[in-house]
Chains A and B, each alone.
Chain A
Amino acid sequence: MPSQKFLARLKERIAERPGAPALRWRDVTITYSDLARMVDDATAELASSGLQRGERVAVSADKSPELVVLLIALWRAGHTVVLPSRDLGSAALAMLANAAGVSRLVTPSPVLSEPTRPEGVYHAPPAGDSLLILTTSGSTGVPKLVPLSPRGVDNFFDWAATAFDIRPGARVLSYAPLNFDLSLLDVWASLAGGATVTLVEPQFATDGSYLAHLVDSHRITVVQAVPMVYRLLADLSIGPVWFPDVQHVVVTGDSAPPRLLPELARMFPAARRYNLYGCTETNDSTMYEITDAAERQLPIGSPLPGVDTRVITCDGDLLDGPGSGELWVSTPFQASGYLDPNVTRDRFVPHGDTVFYRTGDVVHRDEHGVLTLEGRADFHVKVRGARTNMAEVEHVIQRHPDVAEVAVVAVPDDLAGNVLHAVVSRREGSALNSLKLRQLCMEGLARTAIPTTITIVDEALPKTSTGKVDRTAVKTRYTERI
Chain B
Amino acid sequence: MPPTEEIKEWVLRNFAPDVTPADLPDDYDLIASGLITSLSLVRLVSGLSAEFGVDIDAADLRPDYFRSVASIAEFLGAAPQPQA
Contact = CB atoms under 8 A, between A and B. Distances in A.
Interface in A431-449: 433-435, 438-439, 441-442, 447
Interface stretch (A88-96, A198-206, A450-458): A450-458
A200 B32 CA distance: 54
A452 B39 CA distance: 10
B16 to A, nearest CB: 5
Given A416-B39, A452-B40, A434 B16 contact: yes
Nearest to A450: B34
B33 A433 contact: no
Contacts of B23: 433, 435
Interface string A440-482: 0110000100111011100000000000000000000000000
Contact of B35 (A416, A438, A455, A456): A438
A447 B34 contact: yes
A442 B32 contact: yes
A452 B37 contact: yes
Interface in B24-43: 24, 28-29, 32-35, 37-40
A438 B33 contact: yes
Contacts of A441: 33-34
A417 to B, nearest CB: 10
Nearest to A451: B34
B34 A455 contact: no
B32 A447 contact: yes
Contacts of A439: 33
A431 B38 CA distance: 29
A415 interface: yes
A451 B33 CA distance: 9
A384 interface: yes
A384 B33 contact: no
A438 B34 contact: yes
A217 to B, nearest CB: 57
B19 interface: yes
Interface in B3-49: 16, 18-20, 23-24, 28-29, 32-35, 37-40
A451 B39 CA distance: 13
B34 A433 contact: no
Contact of A434 (B19, B29, B37, B38): B19
A439 B34 CA distance: 9
B18 A433 contact: yes
B34 A435 contact: no
A455 B18 CA distance: 8
B33 A450 contact: yes
Interface string A299-322: 000000000000000000000000
Contacts of A433: 16, 18-20, 23
Contacts of B28: 435
Interface in A360-414: 384
A435 B16 contact: yes
Nearest to B29: A442
B39 A435 contact: no
B38 A384 contact: yes
Interface in A194-238: none
B18 A456 contact: yes
Nearest to B35: A438
B40 A435 contact: no
B34 A452 contact: yes
Contacts of B39: 384, 415-416
A478 to B, nearest CB: 12
Nearest to B40: A452
Contacts of A416: 37, 39
Contacts of A384: 37-39
Contacts of A442: 29, 32-34
Contacts of B40: 452
A442 B36 CA distance: 12
A434 B29 CA distance: 14
Residue from B16, B18, B19, B34 whose CB has the most chain A CB atoms within 10 Å:
B34
B62 to A, nearest CB: 17
A438 B39 CA distance: 18
A435 B27 CA distance: 13
A423 B29 CA distance: 22
Contacts of A434: 16, 18-19
Nearest to B24: A435
A122 B23 CA distance: 63
Residue from B32, B33, B38 whose CB has the most chain A CB atoms within 10 Å:
B33
Contacts of B32: 442, 447
A452 B35 CA distance: 6
A438 B23 CA distance: 13
A439 B30 CA distance: 10
8 A-B pairs closest in CB distance:
A450-B34, A438-B33, A433-B19, A456-B18, A442-B33, A434-B16, A435-B19, A442-B32
15 contacts: A384-B37, A416-B39, A433-B19, A435-B19, A435-B28, A438-B33, A438-B34, A438-B35, A442-B29, A447-B34, A450-B33, A450-B34, A451-B34, A452-B34, A452-B37
